[in-house]
A = this chain, B = another copy of it.
Amino acid sequence: MKYSNFFLPTVKDAPSDAEIISHQLMIRAGMIKQSSAGIYSWLPLGLIVLKKIEQIVREEQNNAGAIELLMPTIQSSDLWIKSGRYDDYGKEMLRITDRSGREMLYGPTNEELITDIFKSHINSYKDLPKNLYHIQWKFRDEVRPRFGVMRGREFLMKDNYSFDIDENSAKNSYDNMFKAYIKTFIRMGLTPISLRAETGPIGGSLSHEFQILAKTGESTLYYDKKLETLNMNTIDPNELQSFYAAVDDQHDEKNCPISKDNLKISKGIEVGHIFYFGTKYSEKLNALVQDKKGKNIPVHMGSYGIGISRLVGALIEAYHDEKGIKWPLEVAPFKLSIINLMPEDQDCDTKSMEYYEYFMKNNIEVILDDRNCSIGKKLSDNELIGIPFQIIIGKRDLKDGLVEFKNRQTNIVEKIPIDNLINFINTILTK
């Protein structure tokens, strides 16, 4: 992509109501634009990242055997009245009356609808276990939307639902998703910490939330320091679930079961939540399956959510410095940026285009900054949008047969002979 053909409107100052760093940086880097309170348009750069995160989540769901479908955003109130949640949900649910006077709502979650789909088509233990997911926009009418996409009203979420014949099997499904979640967050370059959680309005008896570590995170986490490395190595759900981990208001220093030496305190951001709630919805919505003895019993269910749009903000909270974003390679909007400092110079232009065309041909995601603007703005914009690897092409360096290479993670700049550059990039990209 050439910058001049793209639509990447960086902004000098963040609006004053952008309280947290990810919100500020997303506005400044031209990733989002607010359209109403808590509702955003995803500009091209933001959308690329959103889609990369969505795709990682999708692939790990598929790897775990979950099947993708897609439920609509607008639902009828009928099923919610049956489940008892139409009143429970209160004002956070966006309620709508259609032209015929029917009560509708913008789905904040989908336990009711998926249970209805399940029961229309599955009625035997032979078709279990089943795990169905979708990735769809949700709406929660927050009283005070803030923090940009971290607590927006319209947000993108992956939610899935497991169906099992009994509690034992349901715990397997739960652990299977637990494992998929750890893998998902690690693939994005994040460090997840899993914590036993309250079940809240979803209901049920077993629940974990997943936080990712970020210095500017909203929660304070207290956990066994082994969790950080165990995550990366043995993803055994039962083992991970056995370690101590608590958020602020759960942690009691005096009664902490682990020693001070093993306890680590970090800031975190919640990005996922999983629930086992047994037969709560299947009983109310009459989702029965025949067991081996021919008896109709309510199916055991769990639900599992990952905040996809929230993760864009969470990743920035985890990876930034005072100059801007530092994308991990796996979710970066482009892996490479070629910064032509002097587009009006023939040599700079030729060399930039030569590299650009090579990387394009080899399907390496690259953006060519070919704008006519000051060198200072060009360098600071590229720091701001945080492309991991940056090739800086200037007139003086070129005369010496060199280009600059900047690693945005370390901010180290080195000079590379022009003929070595492509080999050099290919090597770091395959590391």
- A interface residue numbers (CB < 8 A to B): 5-7, 9, 30, 33, 35-37, 39-44, 47, 50, 65, 67-76, 91-92, 94, 96, 98-100, 102, 104, 106, 113, 116-117, 120-122, 130, 132, 137, 139, 141, 143, 153-154
Q: Which of A5, A42, A70, A116 has the most CB of B within 10 A?
A: A70
The 24 sampled A-B contact pairs (Cβ below 8 Å) are A6-B67, A7-B67, A7-B130, A9-B121, A33-B120, A35-B72, A35-B76, A36-B75, A36-B76, A39-B74, A39-B75, A39-B76, A41-B70, A41-B71, A41-B72, A42-B70, A43-B69, A72-B137, A73-B154, A74-B106, A74-B154, A92-B99, A96-B96, A99-B143
Q: Are A47 and B73 in contact (CB under 8 A)?
A: no
Q: Which residues of B contact A122 (CB under 8 A)?
A: 9
Tell me, rounded to whole Å, the shortest Cβ–Cβ distance linking A110 to chain B.
Answer: 9
Most chain B CB atoms below 10 A, which of A65, A75, A98, A132? A98
Q: A42 to B69, Cβ gap below 8 A?
A: yes
- How many copies the complex holds: the figure is 2
Q: Which residues of B sit under 8 angstroms from A70, Cβ to Cβ?
A: 41-42, 47, 50
How far does the alpha carbon of A181 sit from the alpha carbon of B40 in the complex, in Å? 29
A69 engages B41 (CB within 8 Å) = yes
| CA of A137 to CA of B137, assembled, Å | 9
Asked if residues A116 and B35 are in contact (CB atoms below 8 Å), the reply is yes
Known: A36-B75, A41-B71. A94 touches B96 (CB 8 A): yes
Residues of B within 8 A of A137 (CB): 72-73, 137
Residue numbers in B under 8 Å from A139 (CB-CB): 74
Task: Known A5-B65, A7-B132, A41-B113; judge A35-B141 contact (CB<8 A).
Answer: no
Bound Cα distance A67, B139 (Å)? 26
- Listed residue (A40, A42, A99, A130) with the most chain B CB atoms within 10 angstroms of its CB: A99
